[in-house]
Amino acid sequence: MSAEIRDIAIFTTLAALAATAVMLVPGVAVAWVLARREFPGKSVVETVVSLPLVMPPVATGLLLLWLFSRRGPIGGLLARAGIEVVFTPAAVVMAMAVMGLPLLVRTARAGFEQVTRRYEQIAETLGAGPWRVFSTVTLPLAARNILAGAMLGFSRALGEFGATIVVAGSIPGRTRTLAVGIYSFTETGQDRQAAILLAISVSIAFIAVLASNRLAKQT
Amino acid sequence: MAAFELDFTLEQGEFTLTFTVNVESRALALFGPSGSGKTSALEAVAGLRSPRRGRIAVNGHVLFDSERHINTAVRHRRTGYVPQDILLFPHLNVRENVTYGLREGNRPDLRVLVDLLELSTLMDRRVGSLSGGERQRVAMARALYSGPDVLLLDEPLAAVDLPRRRRIVDALLGIRDELSVPLIYVTHLPEEALTVADWAVLIDNGRIAASGSPRDVMPSD
């Protein structure tokens, strides 16, 4: 295995792990709100969270590019603070997190919905406030689903292509991921390199999905 | 002995429960056929159901008062609650379940509870491995360790085999007399009510059909 291939595999895995860490807290929070709270506009939130699942990933990438480019509403603010996102490794992590988030939210939400409300009520009768109820009863009882959701989000992040190539490009040694690498090597006729990346992708994804399914079955 | 002011109307869809009991009691039994509203009454005291109107107070501690717009949050009510389905936290062992409550104040000593409810050999067990009677005793200990002003029990003998029921009844008597924690409990067993309660309320179809000493209220057969 060449150093380039090894670096792509390591970078992609680290970026997917970072994306999973980035999506975990907001993803779990949104999942809990959707499972436990009724509020005006809930269906809009549900739809927005699921959009990256059904939108063409390239379109999601274009939206991110618009938001985070120097002239974009968020990118402009960041640029003033000296922070560049587009075409950097941070853009790779961001694209992966956005694309993986819906899977985490859906799986974690199902986990929260499976936790019977009565366990939480019993904790309240014992004097527990909302945070203690959540952290000691709800979260542990939904933990396997949350972990399964995080594994699914991680798997999705590993294979991310469309949004990544638009918002982060395919810069060797900087933003090139497994999926983007397969495409770039194939385009330039480097079929052997593409095949090695393909094998690595299949192996990592297989392990991640297998682990996720095992966790979900144990709930 | 606790002064119970339980005077409220609770609505659940088509069903209406009208409950009026003002009594000083160490153990109050709610008795009646299934669907009569016994559990709903218990849950109203615990704060898990909100009455449409009325007043609920234990020893002057107002838990609900519609006129004064008081509806004390569940966690501040100091009502230990053991539901019929017990609901021990499945991810915690017995010790972690029992010591879950954090309230300071009049919580009983853990060793006293463990002795009274015969839990010493169970403390490190997982709750999934417990029998019905053991689960009931652990749930009572969990509720008591939170230092409640009153212990609410829904059919405490329902999940317990006949030969083991005596231990639960003894535990109820110990809670009432040794720990001096007053009880309100739902039962459909007259002998249980006669042994433990000093006041009984017969509920039928959302209304109080009789209220008084257990010997007067309980069916004699």
Q: Residue B148 and residue B181: Cα distance in Å, rounded?
A: 8
pLDDT at B88: 97
Best residue of A117, A124, A126, A141 to probe chain B, by most B CBs closer than 10 Å: A126
pLDDT at B51: 96
Beta bridge partners of B2: B25
Q: What is the pLDDT of residues A26-49, one digit of tens each?
A: 999 999 999 999 999 999 999 999
Q: Residue A27 and residue A92: Cα distance in Å, rounded?
A: 18
Residue B208 has pLDDT above 60, yes or no: yes
Residue B98 has pLDDT above 90, yes or no: yes
**Candidate from A111-115, B141-145, B157-161, B207-211 with smallest mean pLDDT:** B157-161
Residue B33: band (very low, low, confident or very high) from pLDDT cuts 50, 70, 90: confident
Q: Which domain holds residue B45?
A: 2-217
Residue B191 has pLDDT above 80, yes or no: no
- Inspect the interface and report whether the beta carbons of A126 and B77 lie closer than 8 Å: no
CB of B106 closer than 8 Å to CB of B61: no
Query: Searching chain B, which residue's CA lies closest to the CA of residue A126?
Result: B101
- Inspect the interface and report whether the beta carbons of A127 and B81 lie closer than 8 Å: no
Mention every residue, 6+ apart, whose C-beta is less than 8 A from residue B141. Answer: B98, B113, B114, B117, B119
Q: What is the pLDDT of residues B46-80, one digit of tens each?
A: 999 999 999 999 999 999 999 999 999 999 999 99
More confident: A3 or B95 = B95
Mention every residue, 6+ apart, whose C-beta is less than 8 A from residue A140. Answer: B91
Q: How many Cβ contacts (< 8 angstroms) between chains A and B?
A: 56
pLDDT at A190: 92
Identify which of A116, A122, A132 has the shortest CB distance to residue B81: A122
Looking at the complex, report in whole angstroms how far the Cα of residue B86 sits from the nearest Cα belonging to chain A. Answer: 9
Count Cβ atoms within 10 A of the Cβ of residue A26 and give its class: 0-12 exposed, 13-18 middle, 19 or more buried: middle
Residue B221 has pLDDT above 60, yes or no: no
Q: Residue B95 and residue B117: Cα distance in Å, rounded?
A: 13
Residue B106 has pLDDT above 80, yes or no: no
Residue B158 has pLDDT above 60, yes or no: yes
CB of A174 closer than 8 Å to CB of A152: no
Could you tell me what percent of chain A has a pLDDT over 70?
A: 98
ipTM reported for the complex surpasses 0.90: yes
- Total tally of structural domains belonging to chain B: 1
The rounded mean pLDDT for chain B is 91
pLDDT at A214: 83
CB of A94 closer than 8 Å to CB of A166: no
Q: Residue A63 and residue A69: Cα distance in Å, rounded?
A: 10
What are the two backbone dihedrals, phi and then psi, of residue A151, each rounded to the nearest 5 degrees? -65, -40
The rounded mean pLDDT for chain A is 92
Please name the amino acid found at residue B21. V
Looking at the complex, report in whole angstroms how far the Cα of residue A153 sits from the nearest Cα belonging to chain B. Answer: 25
Looking at the complex, report in whole angstroms how far the Cα of residue B77 sits from the nearest Cα belonging to chain A. Answer: 7
Residue B115 has pLDDT above 70, yes or no: yes
Mention every residue, 6+ apart, whose C-beta is less than 8 A from residue A91. Answer: A64, A68, A85, A164, A167, A168, A175
pLDDT at A218: 65
For chain A, the structural domain boundaries read 3-218
pLDDT at B165: 83
**Candidate from A19-23, A200-204, B7-11, B92-96 with smallest mean pLDDT:** A200-204
Indicate the Cα dihedral angle B47, B51, B56, B61, nearest 10°: 50
Query: Searching chain B, which residue's CA lies closest to the CA of residue A120?
Result: B89
More confident: B171 or A120 = A120
The class level of CATH for A3-218 reads mainly alpha
- Inspect the interface and report whether the beta carbons of B101 and A141 lie closer than 8 Å: no
Q: Residue B77 and residue B64: Cα distance in Å, rounded?
A: 10
**Candidate from B101-105, B130-134, B185-189 with smallest mean pLDDT:** B101-105
Q: What is the pLDDT of residues A125-172, one digit of tens each?
A: 999 999 999 999 999 999 999 999 999 999 899 989 999 999 999 898
Could you tell me what percent of chain B has a pLDDT over 90?
A: 67
CB of B144 closer than 8 Å to CB of B108: yes
